[in-house]
A and B are shown apart, each in its own frame.
Chain A
């Protein structure tokens, strides 16, 4: 078991190195720091001196891989690759274009993100499973058919519509909740309700329909027939046997996203003015702040790999076949 975990962690290292190299190539090789400086300075102010000054100010005034000027180890270590890419492994993200420390910003902004993402995830999971179970319980009836139709319609609506519609109806028209904003602590709950509701609803169609197929797949298995042959009621069959077994793919499929909840949702946070990591990222993209984007890409990959690890662990927790073999 321990060996298994250690092996999975070791397996993650080459992937992170791959991500690192890829982003480095994207940000420094395809586009040189000179290009970046030109964009930031704007067409009018581009002079060779201005470019050099911008590069020095933002720490881009080094060679990519090999520093001729330095001595000894410095030849390799005092380079952009080490400075901007390898240091990510130590979670040292450097500074944003406005001079603030990215790591500190992340530490502060992840909490508002979590405040939205975690409840959305939990409430959503329960809502989707319940809705799917209801459809399965009434399978092959008009209720089931209507449920599927609702799912397909919900799936076909752009997520942006839910946000705008929700803000208009609940915020502007009915004044139930503020349209947007954020406040830390319990008083801020009123700001969270709408984003959470919108987050849950926008995933409802897709997920419930998927879970329904999982349940239906399980319901046609031989052991479910055995359970019925034992004389169990339909409810007992559904909850104990079908749900019990279908929960394995559902839970393990859900676990993979848990670490990434920290990153928040780009769209939700930006629309609702939540000062989380999602809106941080979107602002960075719009301001073309490459340092932040690079940091978020790396962080996202780390969290994804963590999610994969958690998935494997959750399998061993819920499935005796994996646990005991």
Chain B
């Protein structure tokens, strides 16, 4: 099958972010004093476990960001045509989940729909009953065998996962083999040595994740493990697709606001006087507008713009993607003030420090003082803030989508899932699985991010050392 890669705006920004992270990692590796706090993060078990979980989320998000347009089936010798449908690598991997759409709600692991329909009986008559699902558990001839079937498939999943995990352990040992002089010493080192504790924790976490993933993956091939939604889409698939949205909101916002916050905060603190007055005025003004309202106003305005300029967007994906990027931008505008104020305060303190005075006594240029003395000494604050802000932004997406000023309603996101499910709450019996799935996926991500943020803060902020 031929295809054409498609780079959406948010993809480009995400790859830019990944490149920046990679450059940052390489930079840190080369500097002992930058490496030290990260080693402290690695020493905390919580930090390693949560980092692995976050990496799992990130991997799904990245897979879902490699977009392309498949070629339309056309007759031979005609020029290749590409459809308007934009797919991602994740969509391909999860194709069974994506394509097995029922007609409406069904419970997790259900064999029947959640609504009665008119069924035609073999004898030509009609009756109202819960019909069998088209895909979920369709292989079962006998509905009573469901429990055993699930257990059997889950066991197969565990084996898959264990095999994968074993592979990773071997890989880790192999990568250390040349340093440990031999494969067997490498394995013993990995299993025993106290300095390999962080690697062990990471590998154990990874193994558990792999087993869990394999079980879910295996089961989801034959069942809707988290049920289906109103139009019959697999909720597990929607939850996975929502990961990218949540991650992008949490990271792109930072990427967009960081340059402003850094530059304006540090400039206000360092130069003082009129510069400080102007910058303070700008952020007090922005701060004074209630955040949700500013976002709402901006998103409404953007919506009007998109609706009046349909010619600019050739696919639905591009339209909803631009709205996502715009949302990140406006979230950035409302959230840069906090970091800017923090940086301003810290710079005010640093400016009076003697090493800055010494640099000024050498006539070192202001820009150089900013880049060599101030920025490196506020970078830990930036890092801590970014990590802490991430979870707040992920949670904010849900609220904004509920208010109607979040991501595009057609985009998979936890906020949209909650919003869609809310209307069915009054239904008896309740449709609970869509809500539960969204909350669960969000909770694991946010909790990991919060705990990781704690580890990072403890490692980077000398004042907070040993307090939490």
Contact = CB atoms under 8 A, between A and B. Distances in A.
- Contact, chains A and B (beta carbon distance below 8 A): yes
Interface of A: 14-15, 18-19, 22-23, 26-27, 30-31, 35-36, 38-39, 148, 152-153, 155-161, 164, 167-168, 213, 216-217, 260, 263, 266-267, 270, 281-282, 285-286, 288, 290, 293-294, 296-297, 300-301, 304-305, 308
Given A15-B284, A18-B281, A19-B285, A158 B293 contact: no
Closest 8 A/B residue pairs (Cβ): A300-B290, A156-B447, A18-B285, A301-B288, A156-B446, A304-B288, A285-B296, A286-B404
Given A31-B305, A38-B308, A266-B292, A23 B297 contact: yes
B246 to A, nearest CB: 11
Contact of B298 (A26, A36, A267): A26
5 contacts: A35-B308, A152-B451, A159-B399, A213-B467, A297-B290
Nearest to B405: A285
B288 A19 contact: yes
Given A35-B304, A152-B447, A213-B467, A285 B403 contact: yes
Most chain A CB within a 10 A radius of its CB, from B296, B308, B435: B296
Contacts of B296: 281, 285, 293
Contacts of A39: 304, 307
B53 interface: no
B189 interface: no
Given A27-B301, A31-B305, A15 B285 contact: yes
Nearest to B401: A160
B147 interface: no
A179 to B, nearest CB: 9
A158 B308 contact: no
A167 B425 CA distance: 10
Given A19-B289, A27-B297, A267-B399, A14 B281 contact: yes
Interface of B: 281, 284-285, 287-290, 292-294, 296-298, 300-301, 303-305, 307-308, 391, 395, 398-399, 402-405, 414, 418, 422, 425, 430, 435, 439, 442-443, 446-447, 449-451, 454, 463-464, 467-468
Contacts of B439: 157-158, 160-161
A142 to B, nearest CB: 14
Contacts, number: 128
A158 B398 contact: yes
Most chain A CB within a 10 A radius of its CB, from B297, B403, B463, B464: B297
A298 B200 CA distance: 56
A18 B405 CA distance: 24
B86 to A, nearest CB: 25
A22 B404 CA distance: 22
Contacts of A281: 293, 296
A74 B464 CA distance: 62
A270 B425 CA distance: 15
B289 A158 contact: no
Given A158-B442, A266-B403, A300-B288, 7 more contacts: A26-B301, A27-B301, A159-B399, A161-B439, A288-B303, A300-B293, A304-B290
Nearest to B439: A161
B403 A267 contact: yes
B290 A263 contact: yes
A155 B451 CA distance: 11
Contact of A290 (B294, B300, B425, B464): B300
Most chain A CB within a 10 A radius of its CB, from B303, B414, B418, B468: B468
Nearest to A148: B468
Contacts of A35: 304-305, 308
A260 B290 CA distance: 9
Contacts of B285: 15, 18-19, 22
A167 B403 CA distance: 19
A297 B293 contact: yes
A82 B308 CA distance: 27
Contacts of A297: 289-290, 293-294, 297
A164 B424 CA distance: 12
Contacts of A27: 297, 301
A30 B305 contact: yes
B334 to A, nearest CB: 12
Contacts of B301: 26-27, 30-31
Contacts of A23: 289, 297
B165 to A, nearest CB: 27
A164 B435 contact: yes
A300 B290 CA distance: 6
Contacts of B399: 158-160, 267
